[in-house]
Amino acid sequence: MSNEFPNAEILKEICEVEMPFGKYKGTILADLPINYLEWFQREGMP
């Protein structure tokens, strides 16, 4: 059975870690635009 709640450590990291490179360098991961996250998922790591 899958866990209904997200992993607390992952949520904490998303709210504290900054994007380390690119156009959004320095932006907190949780603040990145959805379209950028979708693009990043499609294209993968640069």
8 A C-beta contact, residue 17 and residue 9: no
Model confidence at 9: pLDDT above 60: yes
pTM: 0.67
Across the chain, the runs of DSSP E, i.e. the strands, are none
Other CB atoms within 10 Å distance of the CB of residue 29:
15
Q: How far apart are CA 46 and CA 16, in angstroms?
A: 22
Query: Token pair of 45, please?
Result: 């790591």
* Spatial CA neighbour of 15 closest among 36, 29, 34, 32: 29
Q: How confident is the model over 15-42, as pLDDT tens digits?
A: 899 999 988 999 999 999 999 989 988 9
